[in-house]
Amino acid sequence: MKIAITGGAGLFGRGLQAALAEEHEVVSLTHADLDITDSVGVRRVLTRISPHLVVHTAALPDIDYCETHPDEAQRVNVEGTQNVVTGTAALGAGLAHISTDAVFDGKKSTPYIETDATNPISVYGRSKLDAELAVQEYERHWIFRVSVLFGPGKTNFVSKAVARVRSGQKHLAASDQLGSATYTLDASRKILEVVEAKKYGLYHLCNSGPCTRMELAEQAIIDVGMNPGMIEGVPGETMGRPGPRLKYAVMEMRALRKAGFEPPRPWQDALRDYIAKYESSHGKSE
């Protein structure tokens, strides 16, 4: 299968390439290769590649940046996605779209399921929800909502914490934001499994088990053999970030189970695997 990945230089794009390239022909498209806001260019590039599957990861993923640049968030996350949908549909290829838990409002106290009402509280969340609606207009689609990402190839939440603690500094992490974590390699393999089964639809996709940002950072520091006391838990609102975060964003992977798939392994196991492979190959934090 020939797979085109938009946002190939991003964290998820790199994870997809690493996980899928062994068995499939993968064309990773960076922004230099494909500007998703250029509708004519998107169609031209996708037509030239002629993929069987497009995995759409390209987006403005920074919640704070989107909050202060709403027009750009609309142009990239919504209009850009519409262009990818149009270009993919012209080829009759499958489209797997990467979305986010930020489409919810964080007011639940039990895990979010795929059929729960959406109510984003940030510009980023609203733009990603509008992108989902655009994707749903195309019959051959999959939507995968992911949460806090970590994985090889690019700086991420975990590698930032490790780098700061290794430099001898305390690292602040929100102690009151309970959600899910997603190892890009595990998620990429699960996406391929669902796509190959041609079970279209909307899925929550993350590693199993809830965690706060503080717990995720602490476990990473433990796994690299450093002092978890260097992680300081603080209320999220004290961190002075413009984009609002969800206090509760745990996702249940009900649709995956209903479709006959096992959810990815616990986040602790995935984190340990990431740390072990990362440390052996790099020897220092990204």
Q: Please give the positions annotated as active site.
A: 124
Q: Which residues are CB-neighbours of 129 under 8 A, at least 6 positions away? A: 99, 103, 118, 120
Region of 182 on the Ramachandran plot (φ > 0 left; ψ -120 to 50 alpha; else beta)? beta
What's the number of CA atoms in the CB half-sphere (13 Å) around residue 89?
14
Residue 155 confidence class, pLDDT cut points 50, 70, 90: very high
Q: What is the pTM of this model?
A: 0.96
Return the C-alpha torsion angle 272, 276, 278, 282, nearest 10. Answer: 150
**Res 279: pLDDT:** 60
**Res 22: pLDDT:** 85
Q: For the chain, state the CA radius of gyration.
A: 18
Residue 282 has pLDDT above 90, yes or no: no
User: Other CB atoms closer than 10 Å to residue 233's CB: what's the count?
Assistant: 15
- Burial class (CB within 10 angstroms; exposed 0-12, middle 13-18, buried 19+) of 260: exposed
Q: What is the pLDDT of residues 219-278, one digit of tens each?
A: 999 999 999 999 999 999 999 899 999 999 999 999 999 999 999 999 999 999 999 987
Q: Which CATH superfamily is domain 2-155+182-208+249-265 in?
A: NAD(P)-binding Rossmann-like Domain (3.40.50.720)
**Res 278: pLDDT:** 77
Q: What is the pLDDT of residues 175-211, one digit of tens each?
A: 999 999 999 999 999 999 999 999 999 999 999 999 9
Asked if 131 and 78 count as a contact pair (C-beta separation under 8 A), the reply is yes
Asked if 249 and 121 count as a contact pair (C-beta separation under 8 A), the reply is no
The domain spans of the chain are 2-155+182-208+249-265
Residue 280 has pLDDT above 60, yes or no: no
